[in-house]
Structure 1
Amino acid sequence: MVDLTRRSLMATSVAAALGASVSGVASAEEVAETDTPGAPSVKGELKRFSTTAFGAEVTGPFVFDDGSFLYSLQHPEGENPEPFGRAAVGYFSGFQFSFDGSNDDFTEVGIPDTEAKQRQIRSESGDYEILFQGREPIRGGEARLGVTQTPDGTDITQDTFAGTQYGGAATNPDCNQFVPTNDEGTEGYLFTNWENSPGCISRVFISQDGEGEWSADLDDAMNLTNTSSFRDIGGTRINCYGDLSPWETMISSEENYAHTRVSLTNTVGDIVENGSGEGLVGGCQFWNRPNPTEISGAIDTYADDGDVDTNWSPQGYWALTGVEFLAYHLGAEPSDQSGEDNLATTPIDDVYPNPYRYGYHVDIRQPAAETPDPIKYWVMGRSAWESPDIQGDRKTVYSCADGDSKGIYKFVADEPIDSYDDTDDIAGTLYAPKITNDAANASEAGQRNSPAQTPLEIEWIELGHATNGEVESWIAEYDDVTQVDYLETHAETSWQNDPAAALKEADLEVIENGNQNYITNEEIVRWAEQYEANGPDGVDEELRRVPFLETRAAAKEIGASIEFNKAEGVDSVDDSQPGDLVYFGISEFNDDLANDEGDIQMDRVDGGVVYRAELEPNYNVSTLEPVITGPDFTDGPEDADDALRNIDNVYTMRDGRVICCEDGFGGPARSYPNDGLYVFQPNVMLDVDSMAVGYGQTGEVELTASALPTGFSGGELTVSVTNPDVATITGVEFPENLGLTESSASTDGSSVTIRVADTDRAIQSGGRKIPLATLTVRGVDTGTTDLQVEVESLDNEDGNAIDTEARSGVLVTGPPTVTGGSAPTDPDGDGFYEDLNGNGRLDYEDIEILFDNFDADSVTMNKSAYDFNENGRLDFDDIVDLYGEVN
């Protein structure tokens, strides 16, 4: 199968050791590769800005306020010519993005069709200049950039310690975020993630001269993770991507692949039901095993000896590399971890990392202080985080987890996150996704949807509510567990007398019944049973920790759609608002997304998909719409050479364009092996709002345009109602900033044609919605009708047509009320129509009206107006919630 070829190529690539989530585990019943409709495709323009050097991923993009641009050269092939053979961070000298919403500000670079081109970073718009490279001396030579140390200042590398390390020290620079220290934004601190274990976050002072060139001061640089404040929270591991918070601090995300409790589609309930975790258990159960990464080889030996039935590799076990080095970083005495027969002859018994302290978003508070203050957002859940995206309300956070069979999660704080004086008091609710629209379609007559053509509808399932301090207190209960505990808890044989026998006995016990040093299988199943019976607030106090410390396992146990494969990016414009777009990057659309199980059963696209979602009034997202689909790996170079393949980081610029970085493993399809950086210019989106209007009453809906580039000159559009017996258009008003405007309505009120010209160049570029007109509509009879937009023309300042996408709205008339048919209103401006009788306030009569009309089209066709419990559907709990607001 193509997939096996894919995995083989991954296993031999430099990127595989860092990017793959499963090694040696075949996915269940995966459907063979087909020619998927719409793969590759893009709704807009995709233009290649750069290709990176051979062996490297494109990671860590950052755009400065003046349009200057940098990214990381992550783990390049060492045989590349200097300076491209060593990990680095560099910027593009002589180039600045213009933020005009158009890709015309740079020249596309061609494909690297010679070996010389493949071994360098290339662009037609600026030269890549190195700011700094990994392992450079910093602070006068007392440390090396990106290299973690023991408390006594010894570099932690395989040159100084025996054992495994997750990637070579300081070879994997990833996320970059700049925090300015002056008003002009020409100097400040660049924070960089180094994706290793032990993890590292560096801070380097950089400045820009009068010619626009940037330079770094390495004497002022520091590895933040070598400070006592980081060791106090357990240090970090596998710091991948991240974000710049709305309060201008670096958010570093820990991509802890080794958090997986169960492999792939399995659940903890499966283990309990089967009476054994054989073939089901995940890598995290062996966290405190002596020589933990050797568990896969040990299982092979046990299978050969007949102690287990089959050979298998626990998902995420390979990411246990570097756990012993992390212990040394925290102060443990070095221990012999190189014994024969998969045995560490001297288990670590003094200081050992707590697994529940890794897999979080880390906020670098007081970023310009002599020693910044790191906090981990324990309450946002534990996973293999690639990145977070904090919305403009400063409360809502969307996060993506990298690896196979993972999730996209949401966290909503009770108050703005930066408003808490004590970060322990940060309180909020953690959610997991439930995809509601695909599995039924996939099961009908064996038909599979194409991910290029199928939006994903999401219902968010509440996992639990807690404070940051509460979750940390639960975590602290496991701080003193060591490798010796693994042996003494799970084996009756004395490890001092017979270490080989004790280790085998312990391994087989953990495989069968789970690791008793941490949260047990039985606790997770008991939490899920109480959750199903009583809801998230009805579980025993001691079980509240489960969804925060075992997030993936808990979500799977209650049926969430933990099926995404390598969710590697999420971003929106800074200070996002309702109506703005959030972009989600799924690097590969295969495995659990394309097998015969679960909520998503589509055609596979190994090249991945980029989705966008519109922020609703409460900052929720409920629909993921595909906008970029990568190539099938059955496609030839003529299709794949210029397509986006295996999206990694996504970065939304302030003009609405999206930087898309590749992490393609050098796989098949293309004629060249390099990853590239593309810029996505979305089509202009023309939207007409949905609304509810009272029977016989009038209301107003906006016609808006998103992603208009600078240079918009004007256009002609027609808005129509599909059923004029339900509603008619009775008037049009225009914004004052549009220079010339005109409208003409049909005689029956079914449509209106508008013409606008931006003679004063008042409309600037941006991803946000720009009003073009406000339409007055009148409810003629109870019912539902679509509001449709047809584009006659939309031109730029050169007279060329602008590519557009038109979106329909829904207009609901009614329901008629006992007060004479007044339109429902939204008295508190939250996007929900609590005032069903239209008297301007919420009262008991509104509840009666909703109850009496619950099955009417005027309600069922406008679920977003009446979904008061915000679960993505209409149900009787909406009536109960509305009743609760009255009382």
Structure 2
Amino acid sequence: MVEFTRRKLMATSLAASLGASVAGVVSADEDADTPKAPSVDGKIERFATTALGAEVTGPEVTKSGTLFFSLQHPSRKNPEPFNSGGIGYVSGYNIVEDSAFDELGVPSTDEQQSRVRVANGEYVLLAREGDNIGENADLGVPTTPDGIGLDEYPGPRYGNLGYNPDCNRFIPLNEEETEGYLFTNFEQSPGEISRIPISQDDDGEWEADLDGAANLASTEAFRDIGGTRINCYGDISPWNTYLSAEEEYSHPRLSLTATTSDIVEAGSGVGLRGAAQFYNRPNPTEVGSTEWAEEYNDGAYLQGSFALSGLELQAYYLGADAVDQNDDLSSDVDIELGQTPIDSPYPNPYRYGYIVDFRDSDGEEPMPMKYYVGGRAAWECPDVQADEKTMYLSSDGDNKGFYKFVADDPIPSYDDPMDVQGTLYAVEVTNEEAAKKNPPGNVDLELDWIPLGHATNAEVESWVAEYDDVSQVDYLESHADTDWEEDFETAIAEADREVAENGNADYISDEDIVSWAEQYAENGPEGVDEDLRRVPFLETRAAAKEVGATVEFRKSEGIDSKDDAQPGDYIYVGISEVNDGMTDDEGALQLDRVDGGLVYRAEIEDDYNISTLEPVIVGADATDTADVADDALLNIDNVFVLNDGRVLCCEDADQFRRSYPNDCLYVYTPEGWTPGEGEGDEDDDRGHGNDDGHDDDNPGNGKAKGRGRGRGDNEDDEEDEDDE
């Protein structure tokens, strides 16, 4: 999903900032052809193309076979209504009953490229960016505690508010599933999740009750947990509640392949630190500028710096007084810094980057809670298994890990979700030699799971709470000798140099992470000192690196399996790009490069473990000509598994040498699939429902599910100036 202003921008201006440290970033002309790129075990068929500038996001399929998806950040130059973010559905086509469709051709004219096209039926928008909804709110726009829309405030944005609708999930309110709530994520900071009542008439058409719709971020319960940041994809839990993933891109405390022990051994973090260490810096986005990197960080870009955008708005969302922050989003021009740091309340970095569960999703006011015990990352999506204990988690971005959380008991069996306890794991790819310099389409990745730690949700939240009072004032007072009120510019320069070299003293230290890893190696995950148990839960990526996990995946995107998937069924995982950490000369992943990415699948084993990732779709090489690239999957994002075994594949694509600039939605049909013989139960005619309700003790709402299956280091470089 979104990570700064798009891949091409990262490959140009940011590559210049990184210099030698981005040896893995090459131009399309330097990319050699890779065998089996592209290839498909089965077939893919283009079902939709989205409007110019937009991704295809948030696929959802109802019991009646209606396909929903979002129109995310389209070009403002498109004609109405395709020039603003929107939430829509395909009218006149049942994707559950009608597995066959007339495959859509490529968009070859300006008119075709400027709108959403579908193979069968018609795409109808239900709600759009800025629509007036209940309580006189604007769809997708969070407010301050005083009710003022945050679009009225200054400061850098992580995308325009309401412009980036992503995940959609349907919670039915009746047995026929003709009415219910549509939950939608908005990928921004502060994060937003809307809940819109929708209903279906006798002709199969859907209507949205915008007067009854709500922005959930404006509720007191939502603000009590600090709100959210960068809500990306999500799912419906087996206990029938809405799960939203926080894609907190600014969480890396380490850039790319660096480890904490590298910093400790070097005696300095210059050139090795990531954006998270500057979370509470006044004007934090400045550390992403070329000028700052050259002066303080040996010219290296701090991974995740772009995602520090929106932190000031997050502070105002929490109730902080507004100050004169920088309102220029360009990282390569001289800017005048605001010189008044924001005091409390200020966002606590350890409160973001989790899976959010909306208990009582069909109630008057859904109650959000976070699975802190599931680790902290840039989560694209969770996939919770039918045992109600095992949750797989994919983390988007560069040099990221692949994780799972396994609860001790079924999650809905805990009376209080804060009592949920279990073990957090990170994956290690064990067949390093087989993966070296081989085409990704030829290599199954063998997996082992490394336990990082065991805790209760309440324990982890208590560790998080210790950092709630840290503010921008602390950044200056903890790291600068000069009084910032006397000489702000000197004080912030001193603080920047101190943090780049020795780390941010307001948060978990480098020494604590290394000490945790040393004790882990000697005594195992349960043999570490009590005050170090927090490390793998709050600094998940850094901890995983220290104990040998494979933190090399590049843009691990959607992850999904069908509802109530059993041993023998499959989990699908999308990797948007096979490059950088997956193709360099270090670590367990040293594959041949495929910039178009791929889709893996993993068979679920008897204990709901997975141990092998098998490639089933491989994208095109960057050098492939239009006759090849036009019909190949490029840069997979969301994946959504229908109950019959087919998979919806959504793109967030670099276009490379395609003849058209639009992203597509493909339907993948696995090899050997025949209608009526998919993975779904014999009598299951739903898109992605769950047959079983739960008893009265279940914290979920107890109704049976009836839904359809079901951005990375850079945003779209084709965004208009006014879009930013």
Report the residue type matching 2:342 in the other structure.
Answer: I
Give the match's secondary structure for 1:487.
helix
Q: Which residue in the other structure is 1:426 paired with?
A: 420
Contact 1:59/1:174 (CA < 8 Å) preserved in 2?
yes
1:317 is the counterpart of 2:305: yes
- Secondary structure of 1:278's counterpart equals coil
Pairwise mapping of residues 749-788 of structure 1 onto structure 2 (< 5 A)? 765-767=677-679
| Contact 1:21/1:403 (<8 A) preserved | no
Letter in 2 for 1:132: A
Amino acid at match of 1:767: E
- Cα offset for 1:311? 1.1
1:797 corresponds to: none
Kept after mapping to 1: 8 A contact 2:381/2:558: yes
Q: Does 1:619 align with 2:585?
A: no
Q: How many Å apart are 1:488 and its aligned residue?
A: 0.2
What corresponds to 2:319 in structure 1? 331
- Whether the 8 Å contact between 2:18 and 2:299 is mirrored in structure 1 is no
Residue 265 of structure 2 corresponds to 273
Q: Following TM superposition, by how much is the alpha carbon of 1:165 offset from its aligned partner in structure 2, in angstroms?
A: 1.1
Q: Is the 8 A contact 1:650 1:659 kept in 2?
A: yes
Partner of 1:365 in structure 2? 359
* 1:201-220 mapped onto 2 (5 Å cutoff): 201-220=193-212
- Superposed CA deviations along residues 460-489 of structure 1, whole A, max 9, x for unmatched, are 101001110000000000000000000000
Distance 1:143 1:29 in 2: 45
User: Residue in 2 aligned with 1:139?
Assistant: 134
Amino acid corresponding to residue 291 of structure 2 in structure 1? D
Q: Return 5+ residue gaps in structure 2 as ranges.
A: 328-333, 683-724
Q: Give the match's secondary structure for 1:258.
A: coil
Measured at CA, do residues 51 and 62 of structure 1 come closer, stay the same or move farther in structure 2, by a change above 3 Å?
same
One-letter code aligned to 1:257: Y
Task: Name the CA distance, whole Å, in 2 between partners of 1:200 and 1:249.
Answer: 17
Give the C-alpha shift of residue 442 in structure 1. 5.7
Paired with 2:125 and 2:24, the residues of 1 have a C-alpha distance of 46
State the partner residue of 1:417. 411
Structure 1: distance between partners of 2:18 and 2:171: 41
Give runs of aligned pairs for residues 69-108 of structure 1, distance below 5 A. 69-99=67-97, 103-104=99-100, 106-108=101-103
Check whether the contact 1:406–1:552 (CA below 8 A) recurs between aligned residues.
yes
Name the count of aligned residue pairs.
Answer: 669
Q: Which residue in the other structure is 2:120 paired with?
A: 125
User: 1:432–1:302: structure 2 CA closer, same or farther, 3 Å change rule?
Assistant: closer
Structure of higher CA gyration radius: 1
Write the letter of the residue equivalent to 1:329: Y
Q: Do the aligned partners of residues 351 and 282 (structure 1) sit closer, same or farther apart at CA in structure 2, a change above 3 Å counting?
A: same
Greater RCO, CA 8 A, separation 6+: 2
Give the corresponding residue for 2:701. Answer: none
1:151–1:769 Cα change, 3 Å: closer
Post-superposition offset of 1:134: 1.2
TM-score by length of 2: 0.90
Equivalent position of 2:369 in the other structure: 375
Aligned partners of 1:388 and 1:320: how far apart in 2? 23
Partner of 1:644: 633
For 1:121, give the aligned amino acid. V
Superposed counterparts of 1:5-24, under 5 Å: 10-12=7-9
Mapped to 1, the partners of 2:73 and 2:199 lie a distance apart of: 25
3-state SS of paired residue (1:501): helix
1:310 Cα deviation from its structure 2 partner: 2.3
Contact 1:30–1:596 at 8 Å: present in 2 too?
no
Tell me, what secondary structure is at the counterpart of 2:558? strand
Match of 2:291?
A: 300
Matched residue, 1:349 = 343
Distance of 2:153 and 2:411 partners within structure 1: 40
- Partner Cα separation in structure 2 for residue 143 and residue 195 of structure 1: 18
Amino acid at match of 1:557: E
Query: 1:653 Cα shift?
Result: 0.6
Residue 708 of structure 1, CA deviation: 4.3
**Structure 1 residue 247 displacement after superposition:** 1.4
Cα 1:184–1:208 change in 2 (3 A) is same
Matched, 1:239 2:151: no
Q: Is the contact made by 2:17 and 2:300 (CA closer than 8 Å) also made in structure 1?
A: no
SS of alignment partner, residue 219 of structure 1: helix
Structure 1 residues 16 and 476, CA gap change in structure 2 (3 angstroms): farther
Whether the aligned pair in 2 keeps the contact of 1:239 and 1:252 (CA below 8 Å) is yes
Q: Tell me by how many angstroms 1:380 deviates.
A: 0.4
CA distance in 2, matches of 1:122, 1:382: 37
Distance 1:668 1:622 in 2: 33
- 1:260-317 alpha-carbon deviations (Å, 9 max, x no partner): 01000110111111111111000000000000000133x725745xxx5721210001
**Residue 34 of structure 2 corresponds to which residue in structure 1?**
36
Return the alpha-carbon distance in structure 1 between the equivalents of residues 337 and 117 of structure 2.
47
Match of 1:170 in 2: 162
| Change in 2 beyond 3 A, CA 1:208/1:453 | same
Question: Is the 1:21–1:404 Cα contact (8 Å) retained in structure 2?
Answer: no
Q: Alignment partner for residue 533 of structure 1, among 522, 534, 555?
A: 522
SS in 1 for 2:213: strand
Q: 1:604 to 1:332 in 2, by over 3 A?
A: same
Q: Is 1:283 aligned to 2:275, yes or no?
A: yes
* Residue in structure 2 matched with residue 876 of structure 1 by the alignment: none
Query: Are the structure 2 counterparts of residues 265 and 500 from structure 1 closer, same or farther at C-alpha, using a change threshold of 3 Å?
Result: same
Cross-structure match for 2:656:
668
TM-superposed CA distance for 1:344, in Å, is 2.9
**What residue number does 1:683 align with?**
671
Contact 1:22 1:404 in 2 (8 A): no
Shift in alpha-carbon separation, 1:670–1:205, aligned structure 2, 3 A: same
Question: SS where residue 300 of structure 2 aligns?
Answer: coil
Say whether 1:484 aligns with 2:470: no
Offset of residue 28 of structure 1: 4.2
Shift of residue 419 of structure 1? 1.1
Distance 2:288 2:614 in 1: 39
Amino acid of the residue matched to residue 205 of structure 2? E
Q: Which residue matches 2:442?
A: 453
Partners of 2:182 and 2:12 in 1: how far apart?
27
Deviates more, 1:310-319 or 1:213-222: 310-319
Aligned CA-pair RMSD? 2.1
Within 5 A, what are the aligned runs for 1:162-201? 162-201=154-193
Q: CA deviation at 1:350?
A: 2.5
Are positions 1:548 and 2:537 aligned together? yes
Pick aligned residue for 1:654 from 631, 643, 659 = 643
2: CA distance between counterparts of 1:389 and 1:21?
A: 34
Which one of the candidate residues 573, 587, 602 is aligned to 1:598?
587
Tell whether 2:492 aligns with 1:503. yes
1:441 shift after superposition:
3.9
User: 2 CA distance for matches of 1:661 and 1:22?
Assistant: 30
Deviations for 1:141-176, whole angstroms, at most 9, x for unmatched residues?
x2101000001110001xx21111110010000000
Q: How far off its partner does 1:49 sit? A: 0.4
Q: Which amino acid in structure 1 is aligned with residue 313 of structure 2?
A: F
Query: 2:89 is aligned with what amino acid?
Result: Y
Q: Distance in 1 between matches of 2:456 and 2:5?
A: 44
Aligned partner of 1:300: which letter? E
Q: Which whole-Å CA distance do the structure 1 matches of 2:236 and 2:142 have between them?
A: 23
2:52 equivalent in structure 1:
54
Match of 1:437 in 2: 431
SS of residue paired to 1:332: coil
Instruction: Evaluate the alpha carbon distance shift between residue 24 and residue 598 of structure 1 in structure 2; reply closer, same or farther with a 3 A threshold.
Output: same
Cα distance in 1 for residues equivalent to 2:595 and 2:230: 25
CA distance in 1, matches of 2:337, 2:46: 49
Aligned residue number for residue 635 of structure 1? 624
Q: Which amino acid aligns with 2:508?
A: I
| Residues in 2 aligned to 1:287 and 1:97: alpha-carbon distance in whole angstroms | 44
Q: Could you tell me which of 510, 513, 517 is aligned with 2:502?
A: 513
Which residue of 2 is the match for residue 570 of structure 1? 559
Secondary structure of the residue aligned to 1:150 is coil
C-alpha deviations, 1:313-356, integer Å up to 9, x for none? 10001100000100000111111113986633110113101000
User: Relative to 1, partners in 2 of residues 1:21 and 1:195: Cα closer, same or farther, differing over 3 Å?
Assistant: farther
CA contact (8 A) 1:610 1:647 kept: yes
Unaligned runs of at least 5 residues, structure 1: 1-6, 685-706, 711-764, 771-887
Q: Distance in 1 between matches of 2:252 and 2:650?
A: 26
